[in-house]
Amino acid sequence: MKAVIILSAGHGKRMKSPLPKVLHKVAGKSMLQWVIDAAKTLNPDQIITVISPELKTHETLKSTDIVVQEVPQGTGDALKLATQKLQQNIEKVFLLCADTPLLQAEDLKNLENTTADLTLIGMKIDDLSKSYGRIQLNEKCYPVAIRETKHDPEAKKISIANTGVYAFNAKMLKSLLPKLEIHPDSNEFYATDLLELAVCEGYSSELFLAKEENFLGVNTLVDLSEAEKIMQCRLKANHMLNGVHFSLPETSYVHYDAEIGSGTIIEQSVHIGENVKIANNVTVFGFSYLSNCTIKSGVTIGPFSHLRNNAIIEEHASIGNFVEVKGSTIGKSAKAKHLSYIGDAVIGEKTNIGAGTITCNYNGFEKFKTHIEKNVMIGANTTLVAPVCIGESAYIAAGSVITKDVGANNLGITRTEQQEKSEWATNFRTKYIKI
C-alpha cells in the first residue's frame, strides 16, 4: 500500500497576497489542486495534506486526509505530523510540495518504480546561483546528503539540485523522523536531513533526474507568472497536436478544462476561460473573450466578441465584432455581426440580428427572456424589452423599441413620423455666429 503526503502549510509571505499561496491559480486551477491531481495518478491508498489552520475548511481538500500544522516548524515537523495519520499497512510514502504546480505524472511514475529505501528526484541546473538545495553524491553516484546553500555556500558548486520530491520506505521513515534535529538558526526541522540520516544507518538511496521546469517552486507572484507561462505552453501544445491552430499561441490564454475540436482556428489575443467547449472547424477571431459557453461546429466568433454565462452558439452561426452573448442560445446559421448585446434570449435559426440591437433583460430586480423565432430580421439599432416574443419570419424595423410581442410574418415598428423644418439649421446658427 502507498500514501502521498503533500506539504501545504507554508504561509507564503513572499507572495504578498491575502490569498494563501497554494490557492493561487495556474491556468484556472489552484496550485494545490494541480499537485493533488498529480498525486492521484499514483492511485494511492491515502493522500494526506499538511495545511495551515486557514485552509482546514477549503473544499479542495475534501478528497484528502488533512493534518493541521498549527505552528510552522519546517518540513520535517510537517512530515512527522503527517506520518501519525498514515493508515496501517502503508509500505511506501511519497512526499510532494503543494507549490509545484508543474509536476508531471511521468516523473511520479518513475519514482514509484524504484526499489531503494529512499529515492529522490533531482534536476540538473545551469544557473548555479539559484538557491535550491544541492544533492551530494558518493563515488558510485548514489545520493548521500542534501546541502542547503544558505548554510553551505560551497554547495553552490554542485549542479544537481533537490526538487523536494521523495519516495520513502514507510518503516524507515517512521524510524528516522524522531532523530531529526532542530536547526538552531531557524528553529525548524528539515525533511532534507532524512537522506543523510538514512545513508548513515545503512539504508539504500537512489536518485533520478527530471526536467527543472517540472519542479518550479512558486514563492512569489513573479514565480507564479513563470509557472503560468509554462503551463500555457503545455496546454496549447496539446491542443495543437490535436489539430487546433493557434495563430499566435503566446498571446492567448487557455483554461485547463477547455475542450477544443480539431480544425478550429484561434487567432491572436483570445481568452478561453473556464467551462468552454468548442467543436470542430470553429474560427475565433482575435481579442475575443469566452467563458462558460458551448460553440458548435462551423461557427465564427469575433473579433472582439464576448460569450459568457452558458451561452450556446449552434452550428454555422456567426457572432461578430463587439457582440456580447450572455445566457442565450443562438440558433443554427443565425447571425449577430455587429455591436449588439444578447442577454437571456433564444434566437431561432437563420435569424439576423442587426447592428446595435439590445435585449433589455433586467429591470433592476428580475431577469426576463426574449424569444425570437427562426428567419426573423431584426433591424439595426433595435431595443427589445423583455419579456417579448418575435414570431417566425417577422421583420422589426430599424430603430424600433419593441415592448410587445410581434406575430409571425408581421412587421414591428415603433418610429414616430419624421418631420422636416425648413431653414431651421440656418436660423439656429445665426443665434451664435456673428457676421
Any idea which residues carry the catalytic annotation? 338
Place of cell 495563430: 247
Q: Dihedral (C-alpha) 394, 399, 405, 407: value to the nearest 10 degrees?
A: -20
* Strand pairing category for 134-137 and 143-147: antiparallel
Q: Which residue shows C-alpha cell 504578498? A: 16
Sign of the Cα torsion 291, 297, 299, 304 reads: positive
Contact 353, 402 (CB under 8 A): no
Nearest-10 crossing angle of helices 105-112, 31-40: 40
CA–CA distance, 71 with 69 (Å, rounded to integer): 6
Cβ(156)–Cβ(129) below 8 Å: yes
CA–CA separation, 203 vs 216, rounded Å?
29
What residue ranges in 110-212 does DSSP mark as E strands?
118-124, 134-137, 143-147, 160-169, 205-209
- DSSP code per residue over 248-289: SGGG-EE-TT-EE-TT-EE-TT-EE-TTEEE-TT-EE-TT-E
User: Which runs of consecutive H residues, i.e. helices, occur in 323-434?
Assistant: 424-430
Query: Rounded to whole angstroms, what are the CA distances from 45 to 4, 42, 349?
Result: 8, 9, 52
Burial of 217 (0-12, 13-18, 19+ CB in 10 A): middle
What distance in Å separates the CA atoms of residue 407 and residue 404, rounded to the nearest whole number? Answer: 10
CA distances from 74 to 27, 79, 80, 282 (A): 29, 9, 10, 51
Q: Which of 239, 316, 310 is nearest to 270 (CA)?
A: 239
